Amino acid sequence: MRSARSFAALTLLAAVAAVVLFVLHLGLGTVWIPPDRVVLALLDRPTDPTDLTIVRELRLPRAILGLLVGCMLGLSGALLQVVMRNRLAEPGLTGVSTGGIFAAVLFLAGTWGLPSPGQLLPFVVLVGALAGGALVLFASSFRGRIDPLRLILTAVIVNAVLGSLTSIVMLNSQQALGGILSWLIGSLNGRVWDDVWLALPWAAAGIPAGLLAARAANLLQLDDESGRALGLPLQPARVALFGLAAVLAAGAVSVSGAIAFVGLMAPNAARVIAGADARRVLPLAALIGCVLLLAADLVAQSLSIRPPIPSSSARVGLPVGAVLAVFGAPLLITLIRRSIR
């Protein structure tokens, strides 16, 4: 499993899978467009002019977001597992998901007399998410030191508190907060280019920086004394890696809501395939994150539900977060059974 050749082969396989899923994703929708026509439309040589509009204007943003969000969550989880020294760590343990959702609920409950609060929502979620991450980091540092275990416990507590506050605001709210449900579970339904532009800067900065942190991550995986003896300043390194994980997760949450499981599954799968060296685990976790999210979103798109809203009979796609939880859990359990005996 761990030889260099099989690692290269599996990485290539994952990359090919990501491309195939991306093309299929663009084909799927109310009208099925076969892969060859999707590719031609992407290359600006559509066989049918409507392909161009459907593929490039309507479907491309969602597929790109699937790619970016999967990548960000996979990498964020992998970094966090290093900082927290725990393979159960996932992007939600940065405090960004609960922070983002609490901000969203607070914003929607207040409406603040704004004409179109919906458009501002992703920004509000982003600010809340970053604040949640900062809160966890601040609350867990003691005399300027970050300890992995203290960080985990603090994150769990902060998440519990923010979750409770979210419930309280929702219960007290006069308005229907049905829209918040899709943020709670995470969805890519109806995403447009504006959402891509919101997530892109975080992805463009966070993904390369996260991958470049591999060597620091490797040293943090050793015991503290060994890492320090090799000359790594542990505390700044932990803060930097946590910050990267939080920024990546915040960028993802701001456009998709709190998608669970990808950030837990991707790094664990990467470790089963590639061993422990962060130079392999980090890129592979990002790649597997893309594949998982695109695959799950394909399923989510094809399984639609009719929500029990009296005024509407429209069918909507399942939120991708729900698909991931349902199909992801057995996959993850299988993986863990095989790797940890």
In the complex, minimum distance from the CB of residue 139 to other proteins, in angstroms, rounded to a whole number? 23
Residue 92 near residue 159, CB atoms below 8 Å: yes
Residue 53 near residue 276, CB atoms below 8 Å: no
Q: Among residues 10, 73, 121, 216, which is the contact residue for other proteins, using CB under 8 A?
A: 216
State the number of CA atoms in the 13 A half-sphere of 88 facing the CB: 6
Using CB under 8 A as the binding rule, whether residue 271 contacts other proteins is answered as yes
Q: Where does this chain touch other proteins (CB under 8 A) — which range of 7-15, 191-199, 215-223, 329-337?
A: 215-223
Q: Which residues contact 86 (CB under 8 A, 6 or more apart)?
A: 148, 152
Q: Among residues 219, 299, 316, 329, which is the contact residue for other proteins, using CB under 8 A?
A: 219
Name which of 145 and 306 has its Cβ closer to other proteins. 145
Using CB under 8 A as the binding rule, whether residue 141 contacts other proteins is answered as no
Residue 183 near residue 101, CB atoms below 8 Å: yes
In the complex, minimum distance from the CB of residue 64 to other proteins, in angstroms, rounded to a whole number? 29
Using CB under 8 A as the binding rule, whether residue 276 contacts other proteins is answered as yes
Return the bridge partners of 145, or none.
142
In the complex, minimum distance from the CB of residue 203 to other proteins, in angstroms, rounded to a whole number? 21
Structure-token match 């390369």, residue found = 208
Phi, psi of 316 (to 5 degrees): -120, 155
Residue 305 near residue 187, CB atoms below 8 Å: no
In the complex, minimum distance from the CB of residue 226 to other proteins, in angstroms, rounded to a whole number? 5
Number of neighbours of residue 181 by Cβ within 10 angstroms: 13
Parallel, antiparallel, or unpaired: how do β-strands 304-305 and 316-317 relate?
A: antiparallel
Task: Give CA–CA dist 301/52, Å, rounded.
Answer: 20
Name which of 182 and 268 has its Cβ closer to other proteins. 268
Q: Which of residues 220-239 bind other proteins (CB under 8 A)?
A: 221-223, 225-226, 228-233
DSSP for 156-189 reads HHHHHHHHHHHHHHHHH-SS--HHHHHHHH---T
Q: Among residues 190, 208, 275, 307, which is the contact residue for other proteins, using CB under 8 A?
A: 275
Name which of 150 and 228 has its Cβ closer to other proteins. 228
Mask 63-102, x = binds other proteins (CB under 8 A)?
A: ----------------------------------------
In the complex, minimum distance from the CB of residue 331 to other proteins, in angstroms, rounded to a whole number? 20
Using CB under 8 A as the binding rule, whether residue 2 contacts other proteins is answered as yes
- What is the residue type of 186? G
Name which of 80 and 135 has its Cβ closer to other proteins. 80
Q: Which residues would be at the binding site for other proteins (CB under 8 A)? A: 2-3, 212-213, 215-216, 218-219, 221-223, 225-226, 228-233, 271, 275-277
